[in-house]
Each structure stands twice: as structure tokens, then as C-alpha cells.
Amino acid sequence: MTQMTLTFDAVSEATPGPKWAARWARSWPSYEAWFIVRGGDNGPSRTDCRTAIERYMPVLTTVYDRLVAVAGGSDRAARFLSTWCPPTYLGGCSLAAIASKKHVRLVRNYDLSPELNEGLLLRTQWLGRPVMGMVEFLWGLSDGINDAGLSVALAYGGRSETGVGFGITTIVRYVLETCNTVDDALAVLDRVPSHMAYNLVLADASGRTASVEMAPGGGMTKMPLAVATNHQGGAPAADRPTFTRTFERRSHLEKLQIKPRKLNRQFLKAPLLQDRYEQGFGTLFTAEYDPKALTLGLTLNGERWDQALDNFTEGQRVVNYANNSGLAQSIDAPYGDVDWSKAASVDWTRVAQDYADGKGQNISAYFPHADTGTQRFA
């Protein structure tokens, strides 16, 4: 039976440290199992993975090295975190960006099973500049924004063919860490190879928008409209197009003639909004990025959660997708009395098992209480 709840955490940490280590400890058991089952151990060597980062994304090398160290430094963790020629992974999404003289918006729906999303909104300054976005593979981004207002979101390109390249979420991270404008980003995307077919939509503070199709193993095609769903033009037939309704969703986006501030509303209703959670294809969140204001508005099953790059608030939302009333339980500042220096004292095996069983608690419950020194399990 599909797990119908998902916990979203908003976390801010300037450099990879105790908070990221805690997330790693919670998520790695599941990721490691996936990596092994999907043949990750037969992929490139640790040396080859790091060499690829040095070649294509050199400024990320120090960040990568720190993440590997914080993660414990194992060979498998190092290869997983590189996302160089990783196992295949699929998903579904709808993306669009619209600009006028005064306003710009990039909006995306993230469509998948609640069991397969990390639910992590992370604000970082890993290379000095502020970046915030929704995390994939523990440091990559499915969408995000930086302090220049550059905003990017991705969608699966609809075919499982693979080539030599990086996981797209790491490429998105690199773009937001190093680029200021859409044109900057396009130059990077044309140079850095993706391991699978993906579609990206971009927008910046000047009002420039773009959409590109990334081919497996390298190559980028610019598209005429800043919209994308889960297929590509001129490519082999998309996987499960009837199930994903990719053509219906794209057709709807192509016909839109609305102002930027009204774009988000379109994503909160059919045909863009998906509710087939038990079949692994439901809208987990809608993300609205404003490149001029440097803000993100997350809609979680009907409830809005606003964040700003320069006024980020840690917190937590627990969403029940079986509840169509659209209410998300809010828990603000869940880390208030957590001493992250004591992360090593937490029984992370229990944490991972609780979350795997759908019983995961607020992370503060697993840490020694500030007053008693005991863990506060229910």
C-alpha cells in the first residue's frame, strides 16, 4: 500500500555540517539500497567520478569533497554523491515560465509517489552565494533560485535511455551556484552532459525565460516556448504518455495567455494537478518562483508555504495526500532545542526505519532533550 503522507522540512545551513549530516544519516540507508539494487556498484570508479566533477564542474569539487567527508567517506557514498553515470531514475512534472514588463514567474508541479520524494527545502551558501531549492539525491536540486534571481526547474524527458553524464539534479545545483542569468545557464547546459533525457525551464530577474531539452550523454536543444512536461520533440516515443498525460498537459500550457501572477493558479487544477497518488503519480507540491523578489511559494496539497531567500524560516509541514481537504500540519522551527553536535548519539537506524515505515517523527524527537538528555520517542 502506498504511503500517503510526506514530511517537508525547510532547513538552512551555510556549509555542509551537522544538519546535512543528519539528513544523510536518515536518507542514506534507502538510497544505498536503491544504488545497490539498480547496479550502482558496477558504475564508474570513485576516481573517475571525482575526475568528471573536476572536468565539468570544477568549482563544485571542494563542495563534493566536503559532502563525501561529512557522509563518512565510503567508496559507495562518494560514487553516489557524484551522480556521474548513476542508475536510471524517472518522474513526472509540469513546468512553465512567464514574464511581463514588471513580473516574472516560474512555476512547477512535482508529480510522483509520496514515498519517492525527500521533502527537503534547503537554503545554502556552499560557494558563498545564497541558493534555495527542493533537494534531490541529498545535494542536487529539482528546482531552485539563487541570489541573482536565476530560477530553474526540471522535468523527466520521457525516455529511459541513458548516456555518459551527470544526474540532472547535480547540474541544476551547479547552474544555480555559478550562473546569474538564463544565458549563463544555457552555456553551462550546453557544455555539461546529462545522463538521461530531461527538460528544463529557466527564468531570471531581467524577465528572460527559456526551455531546453537535454539529451542523454550531452546535447541541448532550445525550445520556442518556456514550458515543459514529460516528452521531447523529435525523440523516440515518450514512456507511458497516456498514463502521464504529458501531451494533454503540454497542450494546456502552450495555450495559456495569462499574466505571470496568475500562472500559479493554473497548476492547482486539472489538467496540470495530478491526484493519482496510489498509482505513483500525484502532485506532491507546486513551486512558484519569483526571480525579482527572490521568493518561493510552495503549495502543499492546498496550503501555501512562503519562503524568501533573504528571510528564510526553518520549519516543517506534514502533508496527508489521502486528505483532499488540502490541510498540511504546520510545525515551525522544529530544530529549536536540538543540539546538532550530538548527532552521533542518535540511533539513526531507528530513524531510518521509522521513516521507512511511515512513522517518522519531527527530527527533534530523536535528539537528546536539552533538559533531560534523553531521546523523546513517542
Q: What is the pLDDT of residues 362-377, one digit of tens each?
A: 556 766 664 444 443 3
Predicted TM-score of the model (pTM): 0.87
Split at pLDDT 50, 70, 90, the class of 333 is very low
Question: What domains does the chain contain, in order, with CATH numbers?
Answer: 10-15+89-335 (3.60.60.10), 338-378 (no CATH)
Residue 365 CB neighbours (<10 A): 16
Grid cell of 76 as nine digits = 559507495
- Helix 46-56 with 61-70: angle, nearest 10 deg: 150
Q: Which of 41-45, 87-91, 338-342 has the highest mean pLDDT?
A: 41-45
- Contact at 8 Å (CB) between 169 and 200? no
| Residue 284 to residue 112: CA distance in whole angstroms | 7
Q: Is 274 helix (H, G, I), strand (E, B) or coil?
A: coil
Q: What is the pLDDT of residues 147-176, one digit of tens each?
A: 999 999 999 999 989 999 999 999 999 999
Q: What is the pLDDT of residues 229-282, one digit of tens each?
A: 999 997 778 888 999 999 999 999 999 999 999 999 999 999 999 999 988 899
Q: What is the mean pLDDT of residues 135-145?
A: 98
Q: What is the mean pLDDT of residues 270-299?
A: 96
